[in-house]
Chains A and B, each alone.
Chain A
């Protein structure tokens, strides 16, 4: 495996379900990011982890809960979501230490909340 992988690629869930999105990077990076891409909004940064510590939480509702067990893995735990949470969720990683580095993105998880 190379680059940034995300699973599942597609997810349909009801508002009462609990599910998790997984991201894995194979690039040796030490910063990881979650973004939300909705149909009519720019890419929105949700969370940033640097050296496995959460360093940015961009006013995201508590029904989204991130977890970064190590520098290669990032999860987004979902519970009691709303239909407006339907979007493409993108994971990215970068080498924070060098600053201003490009972020490498995964293919995203297309989430539909019924």
Chain B
């Protein structure tokens, strides 16, 4: 069975600090995809990134960067120079594909609070 663990339930930082959100996953599949979503107070989950299991290159998008380490089954997310608008709940998710389509298993989420 698939499992995603986000050990940090809540993180509080001051604006401009860097912050890393941890994600550890378990799967028996050799092919899988990992995702990060952001859930602001409005409630809607916003897609941030998708990474497949064969691509271990780290990715950077503006202030966001992701570190995929297959050896440790981790897919961590770093926000550089955090801003108040980054305050949200962040979810890591793991995808398996079966006949039904794209099934996501979500972690419990990390609530990030960025204070001015």
Check B55 for interface membership: any CB of A closer than 8 A.
no
Check B99 for interface membership: any CB of A closer than 8 A.
yes
From known contacts A102-B47, A110-B43, infer whether A42 and B107 are also in contact, taking CB-CB under 8 Å: yes
Residues of B within 8 A of A110 (CB): 43
Binary per-residue interface labels of chain B (73-116) against chain A in the complex, 1 for a CB within 8 Å, 0 otherwise:
00000000000000000010001010111111011110000000
> Do A42 and B108 have beta carbons less than 8 Å apart?
yes
> Do B100 and A45 have beta carbons less than 8 Å apart?
no
Docked Cα-Cα span, A106 to B42, in Å, equals 10
Check A105 for interface membership: any CB of B closer than 8 A.
yes
Chain B binding surface SS class? strand
Check B12 for interface membership: any CB of A closer than 8 A.
no
Residues of B within 8 A of A48 (CB): 100-101, 103
Check A74 for interface membership: any CB of B closer than 8 A.
no
Residues of B within 8 A of A103 (CB): 47, 102, 104
Closest to A97 in B: B101
Closest to A96 in B: B101
A87 to chain B, nearest CB (A): 11
Check B64 for interface membership: any CB of A closer than 8 A.
no
Check B27 for interface membership: any CB of A closer than 8 A.
no
Docked Cα-Cα span, A105 to B107, in Å, equals 16
Residues of B within 8 A of A55 (CB): 99-101
Task: Select B43's contact among A42, A45, A101, A108, beta carbons within 8 Å.
Answer: A108
Docked Cα-Cα span, A45 to B102, in Å, equals 11
Residues of A within 8 A of B101 (CB): 31, 48, 50, 55, 94, 96, 99
Choose among A31, A92, A101 the residue with the greatest number of B CB atoms under 10 Å from its CB: A101
> Do B108 and A105 have beta carbons less than 8 Å apart?
no
Closest to B104 in A: A103
Residues of A within 8 A of B19 (CB): none
Closest to B46 in A: A105
Q: Which residues of B contact A (CB under 8 A)?
A: 4, 33, 35, 37, 42-47, 50, 52, 91, 95, 97, 99-104, 106-109
Give the top 10 A-B pairs by smallest Cβ distance, nearest first: A55-B100, A105-B45, A96-B101, A43-B106, A107-B44, A108-B43, A100-B33, A102-B47, A31-B101, A50-B101
